[in-house]
Amino acid sequence: MSLIARDPWQMLDQWRKEMDQVLGGHPMVRDDATRVVGSDWMPAVDIKEEADRFVLHADIPGVKPEDIEVSMENGVLTIRGERRHESQESTEGYKRLERQHGVFIRRFALPDSVDPEQIAATGKDGVLEVALPKAQKQQPRKIEVKA
């Protein structure tokens, strides 16, 4: 009967971790912190991994590139900004209003392989591109075992 685990909770925890690895897939997919901070809308993103970098594209139409803030702290990439109304027009005269205005924020936990110093962002035609180069592979350090 030694096959029965003594601590079922530990097993459950182990199982959860394994499921996280399967479902969560990649660490960058996790952006659960976004929901905690108030965000009026969320831009859609694509994240691609290339041999030497990750590239993130976000659809942020109607926001000037200089009004988008990209920051990096404790391994978390944050994209935030605000979509304001195009001009100081009054709110009268609108026959259709589907666009959402206000603050947006998205966060992504980055894998350790990203070099935070080398991150660069550009904006064009309402699309933000963030290039996240991977750090040069560190040479594994050999530790000698002394007798």
Question: Which parts of this chain interact with another protein (CB under 8 A)?
Answer: 25-26, 28-29, 44-51, 55, 57, 59-65, 86, 89, 93-100, 123, 125-127
- State both tokens at 55: 């590239």
Smallest separation (angstroms) from another protein to the CB of 66: 11
Q: How far is the CB of 116 from another protein (least distance, A)?
A: 19
User: Residue 41: beta bridge partners?
Assistant: 104
Q: To the nearest whole angstrom, how small is the minimum distance from the Cβ of residue 15 to another protein?
A: 24
Residues 6+ apart with CB under 8 A from 119: 70, 72, 77, 130, 131, 132, 133
Q: Which is nearer to another protein, 11 or 103 (CB)?
A: 103
Nearer CB in complex with another protein: 28/119 = 28
| Distance, C-alpha 75 to centroid of its chain | 10
CB of 146 to another protein, least distance (A): 43
* Residue whose CB is less far from another protein, 48 or 141: 48
Q: In 3D, which of 102, 107, 101 has the Cα closest to residue 34? A: 107
Structure tokens at 86: 């195009």
CB 48 within 8 A of CB 97: no
CB nearer to another protein: give 16 or 64.
Answer: 64
